[in-house]
């Protein structure tokens, strides 16, 4: 294979790539070791480390790419292999076939930047506001460990390494929910950790099935190359799909999500919705579809139907929901349904829609959880029955909330629109009665999304202010602006120029799908 003739390059790009993982981990260690008397400084230090990580995450797009030689004509009709922009490949545990193989390409790059951004914003948010429960610096350190795990998952180009990073986030997230969460945090955290571990052991089984049958865990070698037979692909994809469906989450495996979100502290909810759910959808694209395309084709109708059920179920539940954070959590189920519908179509359009939907959901739902958390913190309640008339007392907050809700319901021109619209278009393009039906139902689900968000806005922002709303401080502090403004601006930017996300995805996606040019 062509790649075998490449000298393993060692230069600035590789160092920066390793630094991208090393900095948050180092930061977590430093922050955790600072004494209790320096709690605030520790949180500032954490923000500094998170900011450096964010800058490192941006780096691959600015000239720190490896030289790409352009396309090669293989002449044997096989597809072009994956070309990560930057790549590091070190041997770690040869006995298990585990390599420290990391890389960035068009599929993972937007998610890496999103992770860097959201973690930095969350760390900055903790400087001002530490939820009750434990020390602020411990929370900040855990956020950095979470970032390390999520970034590693998006960077991993080795199946076992992917699994390892996938597991890294499990216990820190448990600790964040159980340590800093709401009144029912213990049960919610336990449900979260057991549910997601159940998913990740299936992932382990699926990955080991692939690795033992193909003899390699290298995603670059596995992607688009038929190393394993159809039957094994189907079995592996079934395992992987269930594993990622729990993480994403896909109906009917979503039941851990509302509890976890409702009980988690604001920063925990933001990271959980903003980036950790994406580990599921990203995994489904990169590992599920990439490694077992035939299995994916076999399971696509089931996945599509479940995705559409998720859209409808999420919307219907949201229409009846009276808890603010729970409502946003269930809206995630619907949004992830659109993402999964896009993936299920197994077309370039659909996968691009899924990637767009991923990023848009991360930005918008991150913002929504920030706002909902602030409202809940200030009024002491998350019940919509006790919250109304927000625009009377806190017009700025109400305006921001309105913006986020409208972005989330998919107004054209804002980030949420593209992913959902193109998921439906991809399903229509796929053709056939099944996919047409799915497209129609998904579109109806989109309308229901609008319905429940408008209902939410009517109840929350309009009407007469309740005593809780009257009593709440209305201003928005500097730190809050700092944490929210980037999300608002990016929601607009992605809405206007979706190519920001999809620009570099065409080549890796065609490789992934194994389609001819």
Partner 1 sequence: MKSQAVDHLALLPLYAAAGTAVLALLVDLFLARRAAVVAVTLFGTAATAAGALIAGAGDGTFCTTGGCSWTPTWPAAVTAALFAALTAGVLGLSIPTLRLGAAPAGEFCFLLACSMTGGVTVAYAGDLLTLVVGLETLTLPLYILVGLRRYAPTDRPSIRPAEASLTFYLISVVSTAIALLGMALIYAATGAVHLNLLAPAPAPFTALGGVGASLLVIGLAFKVAAVPLHAWAPTTYDGAPIPIAAYLSTASKLGGVLALAAVVAHLDTGAVLSALAVLTMTVGNLAALRQTRMVRLLAWSSIAQAGYILAALALGAPGVPAALAYAVFFVILEFVAFSVVAALRPAKRVAREAVALAASVPADTDGGILDDYRGLAHQHRWVGAAMILALSGLAGLPPGLAGLFAKVTVVGTLVARGWTWLAVIVVVNAVIALAYYVRVAALLYTRPSTPGIPIINPALLHEITHPRFPVPRPVTVTLLIASAFAILLGFAPQLLFNAFS
Residues 120-179 interacting with partner 1 (rule: CB under 8 A): 134, 149, 160, 163-164, 167-168, 170-171, 174-175, 178-179
Name the one range near partner 1 by CB under 8 A: 61-69, 198-206, 402-410, 413-421. 198-206
Residues 407-446 interacting with partner 1 (rule: CB under 8 A): none
Binding-site residue total for partner 1 (CB under 8 A)? 33
Sign of CA dihedral 61, 346, 436, 443: negative
Q: Dihedrals φ, ψ of 193, to 5°?
A: -70, -40
CB of 193 to partner 1, least distance (A): 6
- Based on the shown chain and the rule CB under 8 A, indicate whether residue 38 belongs to the binding site for partner 1: no
DSSP string for 254-307: -THHHHHHHHS-HHHHHHIIIIIHHHHHHHIIIIIIHH-HHHHHHHHHHHHHHH
* CB nearer to partner 1: pick between 208 and 289: 208
Task: Determine if the peptide bond prior to 336 is cis (ω within 30°).
Answer: no
Name the one range near partner 1 by CB under 8 A: 79-87, 182-190, 334-342, 446-454. 182-190
| Interface residue with partner 1, options 186, 320, 396, 462 (CB under 8 A) | 186
* CB nearer to partner 1: pick between 111 and 207: 207
Q: 120: buried, middle or exposed (CB in 10 Å: 19+, 13-18, 0-12)?
A: buried
Structure tokens at 168: 């890294």
* CB nearer to partner 1: pick between 122 and 246: 246
Name the one range near partner 1 by CB under 8 A: 75-83, 202-210, 289-297, 482-490. 202-210
Structure tokens at 278: 């994406």
Rounded distance between C-alpha atoms, residue 446 and residue 289, angstroms: 26
* CB nearer to partner 1: pick between 179 and 366: 179
In this structure, the number of other CB atoms found within 10 A of the CB of residue 101 comes to: 24
- Based on the shown chain and the rule CB under 8 A, indicate whether residue 204 belongs to the binding site for partner 1: yes
| Interface residue with partner 1, options 201, 227, 319, 434 (CB under 8 A) | 201
Residues 59-118 interacting with partner 1 (rule: CB under 8 A): 92-96
Rounded distance between C-alpha atoms, residue 180 and residue 182, angstroms: 7
Query: Is 88 within 8 Å of 161 (Cβ atoms)?
Result: no
Structure tokens at 73: 């004509």
Rounded distance between C-alpha atoms, residue 468 and residue 465, angstroms: 8
| Interface residue with partner 1, options 88, 112, 193, 441 (CB under 8 A) | 193
- Based on the shown chain and the rule CB under 8 A, indicate whether residue 184 belongs to the binding site for partner 1: no
Structure tokens at 137: 């610096």
* CB nearer to partner 1: pick between 124 and 173: 173
Q: Dihedrals φ, ψ of 51, to 5°?
A: -70, -45
Query: Is 273 within 8 Å of 364 (Cβ atoms)?
Result: no
CB of 408 to partner 1, least distance (A): 33
Q: Which residues bind partner 1 (CB under 8 A)?
A: 92-96, 134, 149, 160, 163-164, 167-168, 170-171, 174-175, 178-179, 186, 189-190, 193-194, 197-198, 201-202, 204-205, 208-209, 211-212
């Amino acid at each position: 294979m062509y790649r075998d003739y490449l000298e393993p390059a060692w230069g600035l790009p590789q160092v920066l790539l390793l630094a991208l993982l090393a900095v948050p981990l180092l930061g977590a260690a430093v922050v955790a070791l600072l004494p209790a008397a320096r709690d605030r400084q520790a949180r500032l230090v954490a923000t500094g480390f998170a900011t450096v990580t964010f800058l490192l995450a941006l780096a691959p797009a600015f000239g720190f790419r490896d030289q790409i030689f352009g396309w090669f004509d293989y002449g044997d009709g096989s597809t072009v292999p994956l070309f990560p922009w930057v790549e590091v490949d070190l041997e770690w545990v040869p006995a298990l076939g585990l390599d420290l193989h990391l890389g960035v390409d068009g599929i993972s790059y937007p998610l890496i930047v999103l992770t860097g951004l959201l973690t930095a914003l969350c760390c900055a948010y903790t400087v001002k506001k530490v939820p009750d429960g434990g020390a602020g610096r411990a929370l900040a350190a855990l956020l950095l460990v979470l970032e390390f795990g999520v970034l590693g998952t998006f960077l991993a180009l080795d199946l076992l390494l992917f699994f390892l990073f996938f597991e890294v986030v499990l216990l820190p997230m448990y600790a964040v929910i159980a340590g800093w969460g709401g009144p029912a945090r213990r049960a919610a955290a336990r449900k979260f950790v057991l549910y997601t571990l159940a998913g990740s052991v299936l992932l382990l089984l699926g990955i080991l099935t692939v690795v033992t049958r193909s003899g390699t865990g290298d995603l670059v070698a596995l992607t688009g190359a038929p190393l394993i037979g159809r039957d094994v692909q189907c079995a592996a994809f079934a395992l992987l799909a269930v594993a990622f469906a729990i993480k994403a989450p896909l109906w009917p495996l979503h039941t851990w999500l509302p509890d976890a979100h409702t009980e988690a502290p604001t920063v925990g909810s933001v990271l959980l919705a903003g980036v950790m759910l994406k580990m599921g959808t990203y995994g489904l694209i990169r590992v599920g579809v990439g490694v077992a395309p035939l299995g994916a084709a076999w399971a696509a109708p089931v996945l599509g139907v479940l995705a559409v059920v998720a859209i409808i179920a999420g919307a219907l539940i949201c229409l009846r929901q009276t808890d603010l954070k729970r409502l946003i959590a269930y809206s995630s189920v619907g949004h992830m349904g659109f993402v999964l519908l896009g993936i299920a179509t197994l077309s370039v359009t659909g996968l691009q829609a899924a990637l767009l939907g991923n990023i848009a959901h991360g930005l918008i739902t991150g913002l929504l959880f920030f706002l909902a958390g602030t409202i809940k913190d200030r009024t002491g309640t998350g019940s919509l029955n006790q919250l109304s008339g927000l625009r009377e007392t806190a017009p700025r907050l109400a305006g921001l909330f309105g913006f986020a809700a409208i972005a989330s319901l998919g107004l054209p021109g804002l980030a949420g629109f593209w992913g959902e619209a193109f998921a439906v278009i991809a399903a229509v393009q796929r053709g056939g009665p099944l996919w047409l039906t799915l497209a129609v139902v998904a579109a109806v689900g989109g309308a229901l999304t609008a319905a429940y968000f408008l209902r939410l806005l009517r109840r929350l922002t309009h009407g007469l202010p309740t005593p809780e709303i009257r009593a709440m401080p209305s201003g928005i502090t500097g730190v809050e602006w700092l944490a929210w403004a980037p999300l608002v601006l990016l929601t607009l930017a992605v809405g206007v120029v979706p190519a920001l996300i999809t620009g570099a995805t065409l080549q890796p996606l065609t490789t992934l799908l194994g389609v001819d040019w």
